[in-house]
Amino acid sequence: MALAIYPGSFDPVTLGHLDIIFRSSKVFDKVIVAVSGESRSKNFWFSEIERCDFITRCIHHMKNVEVRAFEGLITDWAAAAGASVLVRGLRAVSDFEYELKMASMNRRLNPEIETVFMMTRTKYSFLSSSMVKEIASYDGQVEKFVPAKILDDIKKKQEERKNSDLS
Ligand code: ADP
């Protein structure tokens, strides 16, 4: 059985991520979306639980997809889960250098695990979680970029951040 892991921050999940998840679910027998934990040196808007929950709400129709939080090295985590493939999405050339570094390092760490890249759909090629947060922080409209099921959560978080002067 070909089990693939799609790791990322998903802070929050976007339509671009969901497109990669859906397309991966057609290629592999099973896909685990691995949501990185709080320990990574990133300034997340949403907790690990929230980020997992957002994705879970959107994947009901994909029966071979599951969401889990992960900590530590993704190669170790993937091997422990019995996976042999890491899926990553590629947008612009700017993604390439970082993804090449990551894939090369992950291969050094565990040569049994292959990184497979999936090209973004053109309509999502400019779309990133950080862009969504940037737009939301200026009270802009993000409904074209994220699943409708999480819109209220983004608005709520933006209000909280505004009120606590974090944004
Ligand atoms: P990370 O912090 O690990 O880069 P992200 O949540 O930003 O986590 O992205 C996870 C993966 O999804 C990465 O491989 C990224 O390139 C890919 N990705 C993000 N946005 C898009 C998009 N709009 N289209 C295709 N792939 C994307």
C-alpha span between 150 and 14 (Å, rounded): 10
* Rg, Å, the chain Cα set: 16
**pTM, whole model, 2 decimals?**
0.95
CA of 132 to the centre of ligand 1 (A): 13
**Confidence label for 103 from pLDDT (cuts 50, 70 and 90):** very high
Statement: residue 40 has pLDDT above 70: no
**Confidence label for 122 from pLDDT (cuts 50, 70 and 90):** very high
Q: Whose CA is nearest to atom 17 of ligand 1?
A: 89
25-34, 36-45, 65-74, 121-130: range with lowest mean pLDDT: 36-45
pLDDT score for 51 = 97
**Residue to substitute in 48, 100, 120, 131 for testing ligand 1 pocket (most ligand atoms within 8 angstroms of CB):** 120
Q: Whose CA is nearest to atom 20 of ligand 1?
A: 128
**133 close to 45: Cβ distance less than 8 angstroms:** yes
Domain boundaries, the chain: 3-126
Q: Where are the beta strands (DSSP E) in the chain?
A: 3-8, 30-36, 65-70, 85-90, 114-119
Statement: residue 39 has pLDDT above 70: no
Instruction: Report whether CATH 3.40.30.10 matches the domain 3-126.
Output: no
